[in-house]
Structure 1
Amino acid sequence: MKTGNFNMIRTMVLAVIAGLCISITSYAQDTKKPTVSLREAQQDFVNLGFGMFIHYNIPTYMNDDWADPDASPSIFNPKKLNAEQWAKAAKSANMSYGCLTTKHHSGFAIWDTKTTDYSVMNSPYKKDVVREYVNAFRKQGLGVALYYSILDTHHKLRPGHITPVHIKMIKQQLTELMTNYGEIKALIIDGWDAPWSRISYDDVPFEEMYTLIKSLQPSCVVMDLNSAKYPAEALFYTDIKSYEQGAGQHISKESNRLPALACLPLQENWFWKESFPTTAVKSPEKMIKENALPYNQIYCNFLLNVAPNRDGLIDDNAIVALKEMGKLYQPVSSLPKFPEGPAPIISPNLAKFKPADGSWSDDMNIMDFGNDDNFGTSWSSNPSVKNPWFEIDLQKDQRFNTIVITERRPNINSYRLEYFSNGVWKPLTSGNETNKVKIHRFESVWGGKVRILIDGSKSNPSIAEFGVYNERRL
């Protein structure tokens, strides 16, 4: 081979290798683990302090927040939609971020989705509203969050009708929202494991969705509006504890220890109604002095809903109120740091509805209430029992690495956990936690049964929920 040819080939090979190195380096940079921990992301969200919830979707063009799932996309026809007006209004109130309803319970998508024809792209407007929103808010230096409903009545995504096609659609829609619009500070999910939606975390697998979102946006906090069901002392299936005040959910200013969100509409409804322009909004002073400011001091972000009208604009009375709020609310660089605590529970509960046994209890508080997925009911051992115990039969040997005991009130203060494997009860861990929610994480074991032996309690022991989980861990 001639020297010139050899040098040319060598140069080409080196160039290819260099290109591969650049590609590999670039890939490594794109897929590297996030530098922001979950705790840091939670605190960053709390530090946002005050934001604008924007309920704007096909219910805006009806007289009911729960829109007709067969309503024609043709009614979604704003004449003057101006997301920059929304962003400037938020800025005037000294808000730091916004959150837009990308899809509400009736399933109408207001972004350019490839998953369904039931979207804004088949309406007279034919523009991606999510794109306009994120661009406008970022232009004003504001953060961006999104709202997404799991319940979707147009696509028959409701209890008893959920299919693998529905799961695929949810994953595709979440992927679109998490990849096409830049950094998303928070994803607020609704219509999932709520008493009224009745879509469980098994029907639509929470851990799969959570892991997908985090793989696409590692620093995005995932928030499910499930506060009505779960206790206020721990994070179950959410990174941020939520309180929908209009539904009677109120954060405790005395005892909250979790990163939290409280939300409330400026008017009586979440979506715009014909009465809004001529009806007084809620007091700007109360919104700030009784909500935003005190909540910020207890690790809670306040999200105030402002609903655009059918032209796609915020009404004048709301604009005036937001400016008044800006005079009363001054954002700070950092807010109090929430106390250290366990990571959220995000995995399926292996103990749910499995056969349960326990020491003698009254018929109204029998052992089946200890794992019925209802934190309002309990197994309670009879006061005369000297050595109370409660047991779950998993019905087959399974791997697990987490147990969570939730009481109706703090009571049990000394206990042992054991698991049954190869015909023998083996010690798992012991505890003397006095918290209402007792979370134990440990190295994975295999077993067919799990039990708690209670050595000490203030009164006869009572367990609202006994959970067993096999968490994904790196």
Structure 2
Amino acid sequence: MKNTLLTCMLFLNVLLTATAQTKSLSELQQKFVDLKFGMFIHYNIPTYADADWPDPEASPALFNPKKLNADQWAKAAKSANMTYGCLTTKHHSGFCIWDTKTTDYNVMNSPLKRDVVKEYADAFRANGLKVMLYYSILDTHHKLRPHQITKKHFEMVKAQLTELLTKYGKIEAIIIDGWDAPWSRISYDDIPFEDVYHLIKSIQPECVLMDLNGAKYPAEGLYYSDIKTYEMGAGQRISKETNRMPALACLPLQSSWFWKTNFPTTAVKDPAKMVAELTALNNVDCNFILNVAPNRDGLFDDNALTALKEIGKLWKHEGPAPKLAPTGAPIISTNIAKNKPANSSWSEDMDISDFANDDDFTSSWVSSKSVANPWYEVDFGKDEEFNTITLTEKAENITAYRLEYLQNGVWKPINKNEKKSRVKVNRFDKVYGSKVRVWIDKSEKPASIAELGVYNERR
């Protein structure tokens, strides 16, 4: 009888989990863009160091707010007509502001001894706001940094994300940082993106994952993120004329992300200008998240509170965004073509074949004008299995192309494509081969390939 009851309970749990997985990626993207405006909250040990990147060995004793009140944060967000919040659970220096079992370098070993993530999540939900979380892969305290990453680091990342996604209720989105960025130099191979993506979706299928990698990848393609991201404070800019991808843009209300000693006496950004920015971004399917930094007492300064109220007077949420165009699933797998030997028909001057698989979308292989039927290929050196090929142009010129692969010395076709777009994603049943080649049948100008990607996606 006990075994029967246990089996029924397990079946019911699986059934409930499956039932919960009702929203497609397109629906989740639409829901996210419909939120329009939210609050980023950079609050962590950097708050107490007057630096965004403090000493990674800074003592937890520094983290000592006397008046921490997450309800004040939530009510300030409501005053600006924001719909959600997003808190820095762990920033680049590795201090965790939740009750984690993965490391002693956490808030429970500070003078506060309170789970800040829990207080934040409870306060925002109590005020009718959605809950999102920020998490940094780069972790200088735990030596999770370039050329030093171990299996133990990966296990820590998975354990920490699991805690964050199981202890605090429904998490609408998670924003990941310090990953695949030129300043972090931690690649999606060092900490495997596909594993992390599937872990998050297995725990909370409706949690949207964003990596702050917008500067690297083309605006027209969805790479390693459910939503396109733009860190405006770092100079990243979304097109306010042409963007049609679901997007997020972030900016601090104050002069930097974490609180500094001069914040109470330094003017914040003009509320009217922030509303103009918000409106322009919303008009191109972009959600705007405005950072407000709590001070060392754990409260927002008066000048920030005043600005948020003024924003709320100037801007109202007037309903859902227009219906988004489908993006298809994001690319989340390892690019097996990256930096492999490449070959091509005659190229233009120095724009030779290796520029099209160097993991740099700013460089390109360019076909010579005199070649009537250009081709480009990548050699894996051995048979590989794959089921996705992406072709990203420098500009939209190729209007017809063919893909093929080499298997046991025989070239076999994959598909033909005549759709014009800068980022061309081709998904197909799994094949095995040692080379991939693209034939360019029609191009309005000399063909130029910024990146050819080959992936073996888990489906």
Shorter-normalised TM range: over 0.9
Give the % identical residues.
65
- Are the aligned partners of 1:49 and 1:96 in contact in 2 as well (CA < 8 Å)? yes
Q: Output the CA distance in 1 between the equivalents of 2:446 and 2:5.
A: 70
User: C-alpha offsets along residues 402-437 of structure 1, whole Å, 9 cap, x if unaligned?
Assistant: 110001111111111111112100111111122111
Conserved? CA contact 1:416–1:454, under 8 Å: yes
Contact persistence 1:148–1:188 (CA under 8 A): yes
Which residue matches 2:202?
215
Taking the aligned partners of 2:432 and 2:353, their CA distance within structure 1 comes to 23
**Aligned pairs (5 A) from 1:354-393:** 354-393=340-379
Q: Secondary structure, in 3 states, of the residue corresponding to 1:176?
A: helix
Could you tell me which of 242, 255, 260 is aligned with 2:242? 255
Give secondary structure in 2 for the equivalent of 1:468. strand
1:246 lines up with 2:233 in the alignment: yes
TM-score by length of 2: 0.98
Shift of the alpha carbon at 1:285? Answer: 0.8
The residue type equivalent to 1:17 in the other structure is T
Q: 1:26 aligns with which of 13, 16, 22?
A: 13
Matched-pair contact (CA < 8 Å) for 2:342–2:377? yes
Letter in 1 for 2:415: T
- Equivalent position amino acid for 1:202 in 2: D
In structure 1, C-alpha distance between the alignment counterparts of 2:30 and 2:328, rounded to whole Å: 14
Q: Which residue in the other structure is 1:4 paired with? A: none
Residue 277 of structure 2 corresponds to residue 277 of structure 1:
no
User: Are 2:348 and 2:369, in contact at CA under 8 Å, matched by a contact in 1?
Assistant: no
| Post-superposition offset of 1:129 | 0.4
Q: 2:254 aligns with which of 252, 262, 267?
A: 267
**Residue number in structure 2 paired with 1:151:** 138
Indicate conservation of the 8 Å contact 1:111/1:130, yes or no. yes
Moved over 6 A (4+): none
Q: What is the aligned partner in structure 1 of residue 277 from structure 2? A: 291
| C-alpha distance after superposition, 1:348-384 (max 9, x if no partner) | 1110111100011245211011100000111111111
Aligned counterparts of 2:13 and 2:296: Cα–Cα separation in 1: 45
Query: Which one of the candidate residues 22, 28, 33 is aligned to 1:35?
Result: 22
Does the 8 Å contact 1:352/1:372 carry over to 2?
A: yes
SS in 1 for 2:164: helix
Aligned-pair Cα RMSD in Å: 1.2
Count of aligned positions:
459
Name the amino acid aligned to 2:322: P
Letter in 1 for 2:340: K
Aligned-partner Cα distance in 1 for 2:171–2:319? 20
**For 2:236 and 2:437, how far apart are their aligned partners in 1?**
33
1:112 is aligned to 2:76? no
CA distance in 2, matches of 1:303, 1:368: 38
Query: What residue is the counterpart of 1:472 in the other structure?
Result: 458
State which of 411, 433, 436 in structure 1 corresponds to 2:419. Answer: 433
Structure 2 counterpart of 1:360, one-letter code: W
Q: Which runs of 5+ in 1 are unaligned?
A: 1-12
Letter in 2 for 1:103: K
Residue aligned with 1:301, SS: strand
Partner SS for 2:75: helix
**Equivalent residue for 2:161?**
174
User: Which region of structure 1 is more displaced relative to structure 2, 329-338 or 73-82?
Assistant: 329-338
Contact 2:356-2:364 within 8 A present in 1 as well? yes
What is the correspondence of 1:52-451 to structure 2 with a 5 Å cutoff? Answer: 52-288=39-275, 290-451=276-437
1:48 alignment partner in structure 2: 35
Q: CA deviation at 1:26?
A: 3.3
Separation (CA, whole Å) in 2 of partners of 1:20 and 1:458: 62
Aligned residues of 1:298 and 1:336 also touching (Cα < 8 A): no
Deviates more, 1:212-221 or 1:16-25: 16-25
Q: Is the 8 A contact 2:80 2:313 kept in 1?
A: yes
Residues 46 and 260 in structure 1, CA contact (< 8 A), matched pair in contact too = yes
Deviation at 1:16, TM superposition (A): 5.9
Q: Secondary structure of 1:323's match? A: helix
In 2, are the aligned partners of 1:365 and 1:380 still within 8 Å (CA)? yes
Structure 1 residues 231-282: Cα deviation after superposition (integer angstroms, max 9, x where no partner): 0001100001011111111111111111000110001100001111111110
Q: Distance in 2 between matches of 1:455 and 1:209?
A: 38
Name the aligned partner's letter for residue 371 of structure 1.
N
The answer to whether the 8 A contact 1:299-1:337 is kept is: no
Shift of 1:33: 6.0
The alpha carbon displacement at 1:443 in A equals 1.2
CA distance in 2, matches of 1:157, 1:358: 39
Q: Distance in 2 between matches of 1:387 and 1:79?
A: 71
Aligned to 1:47, the other structure's residue is in SS state helix
Amino acid at match of 2:104: D
SS in 1 for 2:202: helix
Instruction: Supply the distance in 2 between the matched residues of 1:16 and 1:354 (Cα, whole angstroms).
Output: 54
Alpha-carbon separation, structure 1, partners of 2:281 and 2:345: 43
Question: Using the alignment, how far apart are the partners of 1:326 and 1:152 within structure 2?
Answer: 36
Alpha-carbon distance, 1:67 to partner: 1.3
Report the CA distance shift for 1:419/1:20 in structure 2 as closer, same or farther (over 3 A): closer
Query: Aligned partners of 2:220 and 2:6: how far apart in 1?
Result: 52
Q: Tell me: CA distance 1:331–1:399, structure 2 relative to 1, closer, same or farther (3 Å).
A: same
Residue identity matched to 1:424: V
Q: 1:32 to 1:251 in 2, by over 3 A?
A: same
Closer/same/farther in 2, CA of residues 32 and 422 from structure 1, 3 Å limit: farther
Letter matched to residue 268 of structure 2? V
Deviates more, 1:452-461 or 1:140-149: 452-461
- Matched residues in 2 for 1:238 and 1:157: separation? 21
2:410 maps to a residue whose letter is V
**Structure-2 separation of matches of 1:428 and 1:441:** 10
Q: Secondary structure at the match of 2:350?
A: helix
Find the aligned partners of 1:318 and 1:22 in 2 and give their Cα distance: 50
Instruction: After TM superposition, give the deviation of residue 333 of structure 1 in Å.
Output: 3.1
Distance 1:69 1:191 in 2: 15
1:7 aligns with none
Q: How far did residue 18 of structure 1 move?
A: 4.9
Q: Residue 31 of structure 1: CA displacement?
A: 5.0
> In the TM superposition, what is the alpha-carbon distance from 1:228 to its structure 2 partner?
0.8
* AA in 2 matched with 1:419: Y
Contact 2:222/2:327 (CA < 8 Å) preserved in 1? Answer: no
CA distance in 2, matches of 1:417, 1:23: 46
